[in-house]
């Protein structure tokens, strides 16, 4: 197990390095620089600024300088908001984004699984059709449309929930709903399909032949097996929720990391682009790692320490 | 002989896209205390459906119970509520399925799968249940059971898994054990060991066994009585001796001729020609007519009455009808 962890963390570091390298060179290959806007700055000032941010050095020097500072977890100062460092921005935005992402993920997982189970148990019944129709809608309606609809109905027309911001649990309901609907629908459909498949397995018949109650059969014997495929897609769902947070944060004026990320790209604020990208990637890589661990725990046939290497 | 279980005129069908499959069409048999009754017959003749109907494990839909009675301890199991039936499953009547590779849950330890049945039916603490489970594993021949209890199914071989499945079925000391092709998926040596285990356990516990198989070699080794099934009906029943040495139904004779025998030198193996009838629209008469070398005009028109040859030997064939016997004699 320890060997597996070491190898796994090593490969995560390599992945991250590749991401940093690619982002760095891609970002610099886009024409333009943080300082060439319409606003006229004198040539001397521009030179000074560029030398301050090492932008006058050859690209490979900049790259290694950057790697050096990232290795010490220092993402440098922002170019556009010179009074702030990228670390400060992340420190302020991350907790909010993390909260939004996690609450969404938890809501999506639990309600999706529950919906999937109910639909499978009422297979081809009214509840099944209703749940799956809702799921198809949930998958096909993009989260920004969902957000607009929710705001229109629940906040503007009925006035039961606040329109925007992230200041109390009540404020969290609409953004979370808007962001969770898609992933929830995907989980519900997958759970249903996988549950239906598991319920026809021989070991379920064995469990019935023991005289176990339907509740025990579903929750003890079927669910764990039915969740295996669901766990495998959690990684990509986490990624889609993560990108979803940019949009949702913008719509609901939530002060998360998304704002910095989008602004920084528009403004060519190199350190902020790099910092947020690396940060998002790290979060995602860790999520994928956790998903693999969860899979190993759910399915005893998978030996984590043997999977790699051989 | 005490009867522990009586199946009377059982009818089961399945709704499919192609129409209604009449899988079991009036099956009647008794199971006596402490005996092994073998149900034999070609694939698709309704053996599994019969056995699963006894436990009421046929999924409805597509399955449908079309009539009959299953009497156990003065109760008709077909009339019990599902909750009452659950008390009987696994405790009074238990079942072993064909494939040991798929009949255990891959994500639960075998200890968990063994004790859950005990905890369901007996008033025992989980510690006591564990002890019972260990004793049972010991009985079916799993070495160092207290260690093995913590392992998962994939850590056992096929033969070991079938032993575990048997332990699981016996753990609440059932009166009736239904084994649906328990050795088909195993290789021959393991098969012999498992059959030996059945005999052993029956001696120790007095459990009555319904053994379902299409392997007459297995039947010869362990069965006390045999019921031969064909196209959803039982066409001949008798003791092992009666069926093997004095088979009367042409289908039974055909079955016996199609397996190699050590005691008859150089006898040719003659497979039964043709295929069983389509169960979507089963024939009104004897379903064996199309394949039977002795078929008569009446066979196609009307299903034969049951003829009792001895108190234990019965056969459904027009050849056994008094009138038919005479006809043959005059020819
Ligand atoms: N779930 C089902 N849906 C539709 N038809 C079924 C179903 N289960 C069984 N049948 C039909 O019932 C008939 C009897 O099947 P059964 O499984 O009892 O045969 P069997 O004697 O056990 O054969 P085998 O030796 O192959 O196990 C077959 O014709 C089969 O097609
Ligand atoms: S009833 Fe007729 S067809 Fe059927 S087995 Fe007897 S002789 Fe053959
Ligand atoms: Mg079968």
Encode pLDDT of A206-218 as tens digits: 999 999 999 999 9
Cβ pair A74, A260 in contact under 8 A: no
Q: Is B158 in the pocket of ligand 1 (CB under 6 A)?
A: no
Across the interface, of B95, B102, B168, the residue whose CB is closest to A201 is: B102
User: Does the reported pTM lie above 0.95?
Assistant: no
Query: CB distance B117–A210 less than 8 Å?
Result: yes
The SS3 assignment for B80 reads: coil
Q: Is A62 on the interface with B (CB under 8 A)?
A: no
Give the residue among B27, B10, B11, B4 at the shortest CA–CA distance from B306.
B27
Q: How many CB atoms lie within 10 A of CB A260?
A: 27
**d(Cα B66, Cα B282) in Å, to the nearest integer?**
15
Chain A residues with CB inside 8 Å of B108's CB? 220-221, 224
CB-based contact, A215 to chain B, within 8 Å:
no
> Does A309 have pLDDT greater than 60?
no
- Closest by CA to A137, choosing from A149, A120, A124, is A149
* Ligand 2 atom 6, closest CA: B317
Strand partners, B229: B234
Ligand 1 touching residue B22 (CB < 6 A):
no
What percent of chain A stands above pLDDT 90?
A: 23
Nearest by CB to residue A299, choosing from B57, B90, B107, is B107
Check CB contact of B80 with chain A, cutoff 8 Å.
Answer: no
Instruction: Return the ligand number nearest the Cα of B235.
Output: 2
- φ and ψ at residue A168, rounded to 5 degrees: -145, 165
**Rounded Cα gap, residues B138 and B129, in angstroms:** 14
Domain A86-298, CATH: 1.10.3720.10
| Residue B260 alpha carbon to ligand 2 centre in Å | 24
In which band, very low, low, confident or very high, does the pLDDT at A307 lie, cut at 50, 70 and 90? very low
Whether B48 lines ligand 1, by a CB cut-off of 6 Å, is yes
Residue B86 has a pLDDT of: 92
Give B106's contacts in chain A (Cβ within 8 Å): 203, 225, 299-301
Q: What is the ipTM of this complex?
A: 0.85
Residue whose Cα lies nearest atom 1 of ligand 2: it is B317
Predicted confidence (pLDDT) at residue A310 exceeds the cutoff of 50:
no
pLDDT of amino acid A169: 80
Compare all CA atoms of chain B with the CA of A299 and give the residue at the minimum distance: B107
Q: B303: helix, coil or strand?
A: coil
- pLDDT-flagged residues of chain B (< 50): 331
pLDDT digits (tens, 9 = 90+) for A88-114: 888 888 888 888 899 999 999 999 999
A299 to chain B: which residues are within 8 Å by CB?
106-107
Chains A–B, number of C-beta pairs less than 8 Å apart: 73
pLDDT value at position A114?
Answer: 93
pLDDT of residue A271: 84
Q: Which residues contact B256 (CB under 8 A, 6 or more apart)?
A: B216, B244, B247
Q: With a 6 A CB cut-off, is B62 part of the ligand 1 pocket?
A: yes
Ligand 1 atom nearest the C-alpha of B46 is 18
The model's pLDDT over A143-190, given as tens digits with 9 standing for 90+, comes to 888 888 888 888 788 878 877 778 788 888 888 888 999 999 999 999
Is residue A219 predicted with pLDDT exceeding 80?
yes
Q: Do A205 and B107 count as a contact with CB atoms less than 8 A apart?
A: no
Please tell me if residue B114 touches chain A, with a CB cutoff of 8 Å: no
Q: Does B154 contact chain A (CB < 8 Å)? A: yes
Structure confidence at residue A198 as a pLDDT band (50, 70, 90): very high
For chain B, say whether A221 makes contact (Cβ under 8 Å): yes
Contacts of B107 in chain A (CB under 8 A): 224-225, 298-300
- Report domain B3-31+41-87+224-329's class: alpha beta
For residue range A35-44, what is the model confidence (pLDDT) as tens digits?
Answer: 766 555 677 7
Q: What is the pLDDT of residues B217-252, one digit of tens each?
A: 889 888 999 999 999 999 999 999 999 999 999 999
User: Which of B48, B99, B211 has most ligand 1 atoms within 8 Å of CB, for mutation?
Assistant: B48
- Contact (CB<8Å) A211/B86: yes
With a pLDDT cut of 70, the percent of chain A lying above it is 94
Comparing alpha-carbon positions, the chain A residue that sits nearest to B178 is: A209
Q: Which of B94, B87, B84, B73 is closest to B173 using CA atoms?
A: B94
- Output the average pLDDT for chain A: 85
Q: Which residue from A209, A212, A220 is facing B55, i.e. has the nearest CB? A: A209
Yes or no, beta carbons of B106 and A299 under 8 Å apart: yes
Q: Per the CB < 8 Å rule, is A205 touching B97?
A: yes
E strands, chain B, in order: 3-16, 19-32, 36-40, 63-72, 75-76, 93-96, 176-180, 208-213, 225-230, 233-239, 306-308, 314-316
Look up tokens 């597509």; give the residue: B62
């Amino acid at each position: 197990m320890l060997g597996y962890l070491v190898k796994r963390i090593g490969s995560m570091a390599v992945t991250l390095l590749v991401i940093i390298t690619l982002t760095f060179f891609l970002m610099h290959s886009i024409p333009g620089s943080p300082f060439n806007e319409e606003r006229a700055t004198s040539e001397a000032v521009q030179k000074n600024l560029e030398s301050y941010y090492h932008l006058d050095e050859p690209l490979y020097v900049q790259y290694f300088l950057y790697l050096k500072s990232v290795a010490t977890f220092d993402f440098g100062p922002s170019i556009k908001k010179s009074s702030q460092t990228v670390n400060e921005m992340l420190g302020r935005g991350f907790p909010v984004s993390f909260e939004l992402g996690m609450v969404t993920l938890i809501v999506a997982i639990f309600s999706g699984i529950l919906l999937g189970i109910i639909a499978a148990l009422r297979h081809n019944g009214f509840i099944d059709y209703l749940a799956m129709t809702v799921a198809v809608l949930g998958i096909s309606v993009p989260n920004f449309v969902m957000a607009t609809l929710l705001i229109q109905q629940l906040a503007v027309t009925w006035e039961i929930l606040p329109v925007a911001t992230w200041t109390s649990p009540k404020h969290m309901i609409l953004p979370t709903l808007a962001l969770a609907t898609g992933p929830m629908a995907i989980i519900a459909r997958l759970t249903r399909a996988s549950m239906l498949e598991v319920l026809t397995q021989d070991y379920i018949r064995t469990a019935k032949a023991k005289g176990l109650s339907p509740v025990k059969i579903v929750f003890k014997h079927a669910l764990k097996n039915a969740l295996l495929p669901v766990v495998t897609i959690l990684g990509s769902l986490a990624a889609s929720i993560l990108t979803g947070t940019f949009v949702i944060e913008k719509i609901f004026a939530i002060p998360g990391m998304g704002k910095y990320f989008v602004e920084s790209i528009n403004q060519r604020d190199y350190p902020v682009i790099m910092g947020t990208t690396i940060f998002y990637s790290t979060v995602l890589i860790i999520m994928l790692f956790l998903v693999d661990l969860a899979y190993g725990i759910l399915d005893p046939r998978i030996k984590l320490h043997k999977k790699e290497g051989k | 002989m005490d009867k522990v279980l009586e199946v009377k005129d059982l009818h089961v069908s399945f709704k499919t896209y192609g129409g209604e499959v009449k899988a079991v069409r009036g099956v009647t048999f008794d199971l006596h205390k402490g005996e092994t009754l073998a149900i034999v017959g070609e694939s698709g003749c309704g053996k599994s459906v019969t056995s699963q109907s006894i436990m009421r494990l046929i999924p409805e839909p597509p399955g449908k119970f079309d009539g009959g009675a299953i009497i156990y301890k003065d109760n008709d199991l077909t009339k019990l509520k599902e909750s009452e039936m659950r008390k009987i499953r696994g405790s009074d009547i238990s079942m072993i399925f064909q494939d040991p590779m798929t009949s255990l849950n891959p994500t639960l330890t075998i200890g968990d799968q063994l004790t859950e049945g005990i905890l369901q039916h007996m008033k025992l603490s989980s510690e006591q249940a564990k002890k019972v489970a260990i004793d049972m594993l010991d009985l079916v021949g799993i070495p160092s059971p207290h260690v093995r209890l913590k392992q998962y199914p994939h850590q056992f071989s096929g033969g070991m898994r079938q032993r575990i499945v048997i332990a699981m079925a016996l753990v609440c000391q059932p009166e009736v054990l239904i084994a649906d092709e328990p050795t088909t998926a195993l290789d021959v040596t393991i098969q012999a060991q498992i059959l030996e285990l059945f005999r052993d356990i029956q001696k120790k516990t007095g459990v009555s066994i319904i053994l379902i198989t299409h392997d007459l070699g297995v039947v010869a080794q362990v069965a006390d009585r045999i019921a031969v099934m064909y196209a959803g009906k039982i066409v001949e029943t008798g003791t092992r001796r009666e069926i093997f040495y004095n088979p009367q139904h042409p289908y039974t004779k055909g079955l016996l001729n199609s397996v190699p025998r050590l005691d008859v030198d150089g006898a040719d193996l003659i497979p039964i020609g043709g295929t069983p009838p389509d169960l979507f629209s089963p024939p009104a008469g004897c379903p064996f007519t199309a394949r039977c070398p002795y078929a008569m005009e009446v066979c196609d028109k009307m299903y034969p009455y049951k003829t009792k040859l001895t108190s234990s030997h019965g056969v459904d064939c027009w050849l056994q009808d008094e009138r038919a016997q005479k006809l043959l004699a005059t020819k």
